[in-house]
Structure 1
């Protein structure tokens, strides 16, 4: 069986970090799409574009990340694959624009280039390995090749219909590994601690982007009390996110999970998307361009999406009683956030309440983890 123990951790970690930095630049550009408001609201088509752009970015990054987790070797071919993918990510990032249709072909060339280079690595493993690794590499390589070709065919489709073709290819990419989870992928589970580390690296860089929003807000605004308070509350949100995410990740990192890692993989789609929403909450906290109701909905969506992602990532493998209690807390916080945020009279009040909700959520989850540790000591 091939495992991450075959990889030079130091070398791969630095290269993976370099790889992540390129992706996060693209994610940051994507999140900036939501910074275009109109008449006090973020238009529905802008929100849709955020999703349409974000999902292919996440899936392209995820595809190679999971390949390296299962089959990675720090050799020349893998390094070249990293650098080739980075070049295609730059093409994708340069193609992200509100006028998405005009840049769609370049965006798809970047996306499909990344996916085909991942397929190449699976085919290489298919040729080199024997037994279960060979069977799994063959299955995933062929599945992802089909999905990539279908997605690329979307450039031949006029109008909005091309997005259905694009997402049908991505849907197959996601569905086929799910269908093979027990019969195929279970024979070669992911290396769980390394997978958490990889997603943790990307998460911490995205939190750094949130800090950059705060820095830009301070630079662009007047050095008054309101600006400083906005920065302090935004930093408090970032700290709360860091505290909750990495405390929770550390809590499950030592668990001996033998799985395909799909709760971690798919849960982080919501995590990464929520961080983009939260970065825009902080942005609009500095720039009062949204109505109170629109700002409240944005803040609620950011919190609810993050809390949902945390439940998906961190709860599998726990006891039914633990899962039940955690889900009750999550639902209670989401319900309280909906009531509080949507009833507050001003954007400043909503912003302050958002910080309080994130901080309280991180604190409550921390207390629950401490009690769980004592109960199992």
Structure 2
């Protein structure tokens, strides 16, 4: 075995948490690689931040401040998603599951909870101080992990780890612009820093790829999709409960609840209809797929926020029109369908008919915006019809299975 080759653990997976072990790259061909309880706990804590961002989006949209709310949501959701991405891909390559690794991961969880606490200030006052500090806690922990990987390895693998550590540190300094520059410049600073952040993995892995595991990465993304959709269900349920306590408008609320549930169920079905791990053969494929999930995750979470706004508008609590309230559900719903097709499902579709199902359905969901108070129900029915159509077409012409 060469010095640059990944070194799988002797038993094919992490042992039962010794105090300290050498942090070498895991094997890409490692069998039975699955998400760990620590990773699941990590994801659940990140959903706290997703819920806070969604709640702030609901408040902004319900008050008619759509531009402010969407911009704030896009910015704060990027910080959540990117921090999750950083840990997920590192853990896929270097999870040792020893005591030190677990402690540092728990520090990262503390950082995301700090970030969550700062999201309302970032939304309302453009004050990113608490968000930046939460990010600092997470990034210091992440850098320590990369430095540990560099210390444990040699050659190109070590250089890759050092590039990651340096890139993360430089980007964290760059985020200081959100604290000291005028409010008008902050969205542009955010855009520039987001692009630099996403360039770090490409730069770091230019000469050697880390030993991320395709099946493990696919499972981690799938689990986070489930958790985000679960948060959407929870948010919609709470909204219906709150509305029922103050209104008896069951004739309006029940169709919305049914439509929202159909939309969420269809989103789950559509996402998990393909074995995407077979597509993740190289960094080029995997990174494009992984980065595209910013839209997939963000739109999935926004569906729940939209359902809340639509329900509040139906009972007279939101200061927006029926058309505007409907669009808060149909736009993220359509965006989810199209983005899942673009980055995820199209790799396994065979023939024009299969390829067109999700894009056409996205347009149909968007058109439901003009259906007035029935928009959410119709969007849910369109999503359900999308699933039925996809299943029928796949039985007639089985989708591709990439090697």
TM-score (norm 1): 0.86
Q: CA deviation at 1:161?
A: 2.1
Q: Provide the rounded CA distance (Å) in 2 between the counterparts of 1:143 and 1:38.
A: 36
Q: CA deviation at 1:80?
A: 1.2
- Structure 2 unaligned runs (5+)? 1-5, 16-31
Which stretch shifts more, 167-176 or 104-113? 167-176
**8 Å contact from structure 1 (residues 271, 310) kept in 2:** yes
Residue 231 of structure 1 pairs with residue 231 of structure 2 = no
Judging by fraction of residues, say which structure has more helix: 1
* CA deviation vs aligned residue, 1:137-169 (integer Å, no higher than 9, x gap): 122222222112211343232333244334423
Q: 1:329 aligns with which of 354, 357, 362?
A: 357
Counterpart of 1:243 in structure 2 is 269
* CA deviation vs aligned residue, 1:279-335 (integer Å, no higher than 9, x gap): 0222123222331321343233212321232124324755xx848655533332233
* CA deviation vs aligned residue, 1:77-112 (integer Å, no higher than 9, x gap): 211121111111111111111654364211111112
Counterpart of 1:131 in structure 2 is 155
Structure 2 counterparts to residues 66-85 of structure 1, below 5 A: 66-85=89-108
* CA deviation vs aligned residue, 1:22-56 (integer Å, no higher than 9, x gap): 11011111011121257873431121111111111
Q: Provide the rounded CA distance (Å) in 2 between the counterparts of 1:374 and 1:153.
A: 47
Structure 2 counterparts to residues 29-48 of structure 1, below 5 A: 29-37=52-60, 41-48=64-71
Q: Provide the rounded CA distance (Å) in 1 between the counterparts of 2:109 and 2:81.
A: 14
Q: 1:196 aligns with which of 218, 235, 238?
A: 218
Structure 2 counterparts to residues 125-274 of structure 1, below 5 A: 125-178=149-202, 183-185=206-208, 187-188=209-210, 190-222=212-244, 224-248=250-274, 251-254=275-278, 257-259=281-283, 261-274=286-299
Counterpart of 2:86 in structure 1 is 63
Alignment: residue pair count: 368
Summarize the Cα distance change of 1:375–1:147 in structure 2 as closer, same or farther, 3 Å threshold: closer
Give the secondary structure class of the aligned counterpart of 1:247: coil
Which stretch shifts more, 129-138 or 350-359? 129-138
Counterpart of 1:283 in structure 2 is 308
**8 Å contact from structure 1 (residues 308, 330) kept in 2:** yes
RMSD (Å), alpha carbons: 2.9
Summarize the Cα distance change of 1:239–1:102 in structure 2 as closer, same or farther, 3 Å threshold: closer
Which stretch shifts more, 365-374 or 83-92? 365-374
Give the secondary structure class of the aligned counterpart of 2:176: helix
Which stretch shifts more, 76-85 or 98-107? 98-107
Q: CA deviation at 1:21?
A: 1.0
Counterpart of 1:373 in structure 2 is 398
Q: Provide the rounded CA distance (Å) in 2 between the counterparts of 1:277 and 1:267.
A: 16
Runs of at least 4 residues off by over 4 Å: 2-5, 8-12, 37-40, 315-318, 323-327
- Structure 1 unaligned runs (5+)? none
**8 Å contact from structure 1 (residues 263, 316) kept in 2:** no
**8 Å contact from structure 1 (residues 71, 125) kept in 2:** yes
Q: Provide the rounded CA distance (Å) in 2 between the counterparts of 1:121 and 1:310.
A: 32
